[in-house]
Amino acid sequence: METSEWFNFFFQWAATLFWIFFLTGMTGSIIANLWRFARKRHFINDTIFMRMLLWPVLISFFVPVIFLYWQQKEGRHAFQYEMFRSAGFVTLMLSAVIIIWLAGALRRTAITLCQLNSLYQLKINAKRDLLWQEDEQKETYKLCAKMGICRHVNVFISKEIVSPMTMGFLNPCIFLPAGEIDKETLRLILVHELTHIHHKDFLMKQMMLVISSLYWFCPGINELFAELNVCNEYYCDLDSIKQLGIEQHEYFSKIRAFAADQKQRRAYAYSAMCENKNTLKARERAAQKTKLAQNSKMFTTTGRITAVILAGIILCTSAYTISFASIVSYDAAMKFVTSEETEYQKKQTELDASDLYFTGDEIKIDELLSKKSAHKYGSDEQKWTLQKDQEIQFGPFYKEKGESIWVYTYANYRVEYGIIRDTKRRCLEGKNEGHNFDIEESGMYYVFIRNWSGERTEGGSLVVQ
């Protein structure tokens, strides 16, 4: 592609990215605020209900990316550089916003990569220390079979952590702090961490990190994902209690005892499973509320149906908002640039006419600007020269949907001719013939002619109407 085509391609992606991310950021802010409102007002006491909303909330943030890909693939661009060439401040503002967004996204991505690198370094160090025993690994295999986990799960002992944690999706592993752990507490910890693996919580957290990197400018995005992480812990506690077959107070008392023991050892790094005292109390209260709610089958069924309905609303609203906004933005942009583009297009056409029409005294510029008049580029008296596969373009011409461009070539060699919009071409092959190209989408168009004869040629005319 030529330099102008590359710039136009970049501008299309940048403008569409800006518009879609802006709208989805607003949608995400609304979702985050609704979630916080429901949590504070205790409208959502059912952990299962909250968990069912998690995937739709995450997927709704990826709708713009899918929509953007579809727009680019179909060639349906809401913006193009040619529309804004005369409005320099629009290009400058858009470029500045995109640069700021990109800088923020790269910063968040770098932080995320550093965190992941620390986790993998933890795994490498644990493999080197080889503190794990074979008998305990066999116990993990038995629990995996009982819980329906088909993947191989390795367990490592690390001196660098204070609380058990899980890492990995395709090849998951569990990290345990160094020190003596009694058999019952060990089984509780393994069940808890294997439940995280069974729920694919690590994958969810990575999706949250990607979304928060893309939408770092969205208010409340970090708080929303913090709430979702807490929701994951609540749900994991419920499943772990069910798997262990013990009472809630016994489950949390063992976790508190283990956390107190680890605190006395003065290990460093933040805790993953035990967390702090206040968080453990909140998890215990949430488990109790959910247990009371689950005693009523009608409440649980109603909650799940409501979750499915809300999930559909979230996804449909996100997709509809973006699609609708794309159409509206295109119409608004066309109205915005029409007045400013007219003068620019007139000057540009005058330049094109002076450069390409070698006997300019024979016609008037006003006639050249008329949509209904035929314009002859080149003449037999003063011929142009085209190398093999060389192409020349004329324009731009602004055409509305439903109009047409009539192109006629007069040459003594084989040529390809047609029209261009963005990077998409509609072309025919021949010589001494014309064709009427119907306009299917409003915008800026170029007319082109290319030498396909395979040799250096001279002479030729192109008529555009």
Give the DSSP letter string of 220-270.
THHHHHHHHHHHHHHHHHHHHHHHHT--HHHHHHHHHHHHHHHHHTT--S-
pLDDT at 204 over 70: yes
59-63, 113-117, 139-143, 251-255: which has the minimum mean pLDDT?
59-63
Give 424: exposed, middle or buried? Use CB within 10 Å, 0-12, 13-18, 19+.
Answer: exposed
pLDDT of residue 161: 76
pLDDT of residue 316: 56
Query: 285 is written with which tokens?
Result: 């209260």
Tell me how far apart the alpha carbons of residues 423 and 31 are, in angstroms, rounded to a whole number: 37
Q: What is the mean pLDDT of the chain?
A: 64
pLDDT of residue 332: 47
Tell me how far apart the alpha carbons of residues 55 and 36 are, in angstroms, rounded to a whole number: 17
Q: What angle do helix axes 221-244 and 47-60 make, rounded to 10 degrees?
A: 140
Tell me how far apart the alpha carbons of residues 95 and 74 are, in angstroms, rounded to a whole number: 24
pLDDT at 450 over 50: yes
What is the 3 state secondary structure string of 340-408? Answer: HHHHHHHHHHHHHHHHHCCCHHHCCHHHHHCCCCCEEECCCCCCCEECCCCEEEEEEEEECCCCEEEEE
Residues 6 or more apart from 239 whose CB is under 8 A from it? 195, 198, 199
Report, as an integer, the average pLDDT of 148-174.
Answer: 80
Report, as an integer, the average pLDDT of 139-159.
Answer: 79
pLDDT at 446 over 70: yes
pLDDT of residue 189: 84
State the DSSP H helix or E strand holding residue 134, giving kind and residue range, or none if neither: helix 134-147
1-15, 47-61, 278-292, 376-390: which has the minimum mean pLDDT?
376-390
170-174, 208-212, 223-227, 318-322: which has the minimum mean pLDDT?
318-322
Report, as an integer, the average pLDDT of 124-134.
Answer: 66
Report, as an integer, the average pLDDT of 405-429.
Answer: 70
Main-chain phi, psi angles of 386, to 5 degrees: -120, 130
Which among 327, 317, 309 is positioned nearest to 60, based on CA atoms?
317
Instruction: List the end-to-end C-alpha distance of the chain, in Å, as a whole number.
Output: 27
* Torsion angle defined by CA atoms of residues 266, 202, 142 and 126, in that order, rounded to the nearest 10 degrees: -40
24-38, 136-150, 342-356: which has the minimum mean pLDDT?
342-356
Report, as an integer, the average pLDDT of 66-82.
Answer: 53
pLDDT of residue 341: 46
Report, as an integer, the average pLDDT of 76-84.
Answer: 46
Residues 6 or more apart from 118 whose CB is under 8 A from it? none
pLDDT in tens, 86-127: 445 555 666 676 777 788 888 888 988 888 888 888 777 777
pLDDT in tens, 231-247: 777 778 888 888 888 87
pLDDT of residue 411: 62
pLDDT of residue 431: 59
Query: 51 is written with which tokens?
Result: 């968990």
pLDDT in tens, 250-309: 887 777 777 666 554 443 333 344 455 555 566 666 555 555 444 444 444 555 555 555
- Domain positions in the chain: 3-127+200-325, 357-464
Contacts 24+ apart (CB under 8 A), 374-381: 374/406, 374/408, 374/463, 374/464, 374/465, 375/463, 375/464, 375/465, 376/461, 376/462, 376/463, 377/461, 377/462, 377/463, 377/464, 378/460, 378/461, 378/462, 379/461, 380/459, 380/461
Name the band, by pLDDT with cuts 50, 70 and 90, for residue 430: low
53-57, 99-103, 135-139, 271-275: which has the minimum mean pLDDT?
271-275
pLDDT at 175 over 60: yes
Helix (H, G, I), strand (E, B) or coil at 167: strand
pLDDT at 198 over 60: yes
Of residues 393 and 191, more confidence is placed in: 191
Q: Are 194 and 144 in contact (CB under 8 A)?
A: yes
Q: What angle do CA 64, 65, 67 make, to 5 degrees?
A: 60
Of residues 296 and 321, more confidence is placed in: 321
Residues in the chain: 465
Cα–chain center distance at 81: 22
Query: 154 is written with which tokens?
Result: 């390795």
Main-chain phi, psi angles of 448, to 5 degrees: -135, 160
Cα–chain center distance at 419: 32
pTM tops 0.85: no
Which residues, listed in sequence order, are joined to residue 438 by a DSSP beta bridge?
404
9-23, 109-123, 145-159, 393-407: which has the minimum mean pLDDT?
9-23
Buried b (16+ CB within 10 A) or exposed e, 374-401: ebbbbeeeeebebeeeebbbbbbbbbee
pLDDT in tens, 337-395: 444 444 445 444 444 444 443 333 333 334 433 433 333 443 333 345 566 666 777 77
CATH superfamily label, 357-464: Mitogen Ypm (2.60.120.510)
